[in-house]
Structure 1
């Protein structure tokens, strides 16, 4: 629910941010996020979590995410990929750290106190972030009127090539993230719950480093080239490693390698959009491109679960489905790459 709402609402808030400035929307997003976490502490029914951590957190993410990923491209040109990667890597690092904090606090403190404390921690860091973030616009910059459906994008085959790359990539992206603890527990039932979930934490930590380092590489070889390599490697890692691992060392190796490549399409998307279309409408374009993530965000992992059930618990069927869809995404991107820059060895 959160992912679906974030994807849809990002289109709106990204364009509003380009038109009216980022700071009001960042403040509103921070307030919505803290409210959702604090309200979650008092939830007692499942439907209440759908409202707090689904609807409200989805709105909070939509208010913040397309603006956050657009800011580095305004400040940096030469190191645009690296800086955007560092920004988006924060979500992986924060996910790894917060999951460990939650696990450490839940048993001794209980659910309610844990979420109240987490809400306070989130509020503290969001206040700091609000005062650290600033737009950078060229002298004489005038904010353009909102164009909700910019037909110049929809008429451009390059836009559709990039969009379908994200569409297929997202379908294969979430299956390991959702199911790796279950996969580990099934393959190695003697493990404790902590060890069964540890690969997912390692995956998140690896994703933080991967988004940063791949961003650094993107500044050398070009963001479009880097996006192709990252998506292709993400798919191949699932297809050639996850399909065959059965011991704990292999699962950990997969978590490290897949984590390194899997989320790079999120961190590279603003740099790729800026390379293809410039940075003037980047937040709005970033929100528009997130539209292609909606099907995968909402149904990618459930499709993997349905395949697992239909195949009688065959994990290889899940890894082949996820890996192949990402390889298709990398292949679709080649049109945009060679349409804008036909030379193979050129940084683009």
Structure 2
């Protein structure tokens, strides 16, 4: 996937499956006899050159193009009568069909089990504070369990992305399913903090990295005009998962202790992600000129794009911002207001996750209609502003208000990440772009919780820590606005143009 799109490629109409055979010497296809293909509406595959085959993340050899493209001179039967899964399964971008819906549902299940767990990790954090605090462990060292998981979830994409490009998404999905579930299961037998670092931290994080890159990269390939909505549905699984788990996990901890809770959740995680691994796949390339196999598994040249660099820096600051409230709200509820961190604290995380689910869908719809970058920018500044509600909360009701506002707007990054990245680098380099964006999230996700814990310990209260979180959100918003200006300026120079504008 080493191809790069320039401005002329992105904005020029390219020849697709209903072209005649006048250019057959150049390897172009003859017309298909399937009338549903002839009348297909324009999509991104009509506007961008399809220079990469993307089923299972691999390039198909040229000798197999009669099977994959379905439009060779000797193909006299319509593709839909020659084993195609459905009439909609006729190009890179689908915009519907039951297979596309299954892919979105699989992504939803992955995010539900994966990010839903991350959303309510503060419940585990509060329990670990009780268990290991009496052993003399500091809050910053205990929070490093969650930091390791988040850090490896994004940082290990430097391995997970090329693995998916080289070996396909099926291996990637199953590797993530097994490794992450096993990490949670092994954590249930840990008695020392360093053991949690290795299992619930490193091992779960590596598995999450494989799952996350696949769940983010595959669904956008099936949609164009409704891509934001499709990704919003996928990532609302984080909110719905957090909403349900925010009530279930505290109840399980109180009923059967934290160790059996981890075992039960490990089984639940495996079932969800295994089903997703079965149903998810990338669409076949059935149109365009023959594709030669390419050895590259990463296209680092996207780093030369000015717009991508602004998006890169914005994503870096986001990594320092997102997880802090999800981790420290239960502790804040206990220390400042006197609430039970397992009961009311878990409920606050559930409310935050429920608002997150609604927000991701509505933000995805808004991004499809108003543009991904401006919608993400508004969401970032609204999330940063909501931190001041948290800072001055002295009642349960104020914390509920913060949880709703923060939860609603904070998920915009995950909903918009595929649309913004695809608009900058193109679909062929989407996996490479996502790998780099997730990679730059690593420093923030790895160190932000220890940083927040250290700020809390030195300041003696939560206000300085919350101010740090707000500053990261405002910094990400500034870079997002710079992306808007960069997009407009680059359009005049011909370097790149965001489709959302």
Does the pair score TM above 0.5? yes
* CA-CA distance at 1:161 after TM superposition: 0.5
* CA-CA distance at 1:30 after TM superposition: 0.7
**Counterpart in the other structure of 1:145:** 295
**Counterpart in the other structure of 1:46:** 193
* CA-CA distance at 1:268 after TM superposition: 1.2
Mapped pair 1:257 → 2:405: yes
What do residues 8-60 of structure 1 show as CA deviations (whole Å, max 9, x unaligned)? 21122112212332111101111112212222232222222222111211110
**Counterpart in the other structure of 2:419:** 271
Question: Which one scores higher on RCO, CA 8 angstroms, separation ≥ 6?
Answer: 1
**Counterpart in the other structure of 1:319:** 466
Q: Check conservation: 2:226, 2:368, Cα contact below 8 A.
A: yes
5 Å-filtered alignment, 1:1-348, equals: 1-139=148-286, 144-148=294-298, 150=300, 152-189=301-338, 193-239=342-388, 241-313=389-461, 315-341=462-488, 347-348=500-501
Say which SS state the counterpart of residue 329 (structure 1) adopts.
helix
Does 122-131 or 91-100 show the bigger shift?
91-100
* CA-CA distance at 1:74 after TM superposition: 0.2
Say which SS state the counterpart of residue 460 (structure 2) adopts.
coil
Structure 2 distance, partners of 1:253, 1:143, is: 54
TM-score by length of 1: 0.91
What do residues 200-238 of structure 1 show as CA deviations (whole Å, max 9, x unaligned)? 221112112211211111000111122111112111211
Structure 2 distance, partners of 1:143, 1:220, is: 36
Distance 1:124 1:273, change over 3 A: same
- Extract unaligned runs of 5+ from structure 2: 1-147, 492-498
* CA-CA distance at 1:115 after TM superposition: 3.0
Does 102-111 or 196-205 show the bigger shift?
102-111
Structure with larger Rg:
2
Q: Check conservation: 1:19, 1:143, Cα contact below 8 A.
A: no
- How many residue pairs are counted as aligned between the two chains? 343
Structure 1 distance, partners of 2:274, 2:318, is: 33
What do residues 112-140 of structure 1 show as CA deviations (whole Å, max 9, x unaligned)? 44333322222222222122211114325
What do residues 167-215 of structure 1 show as CA deviations (whole Å, max 9, x unaligned)? 1222222221111112122221155741133212211121122112111
Distance 1:16 1:281, change over 3 A: farther
Structure 2 distance, partners of 1:137, 1:50, is: 40
Structure 1 distance, partners of 2:339, 2:418, is: 43
Say which SS state the counterpart of residue 343 (structure 2) adopts.
helix
Bigger helix fraction: 1
RMSD (Å), alpha carbons? 2.2
* CA-CA distance at 1:262 after TM superposition: 1.1
Distance 1:40 1:303, change over 3 A: closer
Structure 2 distance, partners of 1:219, 1:311, is: 43
Q: Check conservation: 1:242, 1:319, Cα contact below 8 A.
A: yes
Q: Check conservation: 1:69, 1:267, Cα contact below 8 A.
A: no
- Extract unaligned runs of 5+ from structure 1: none
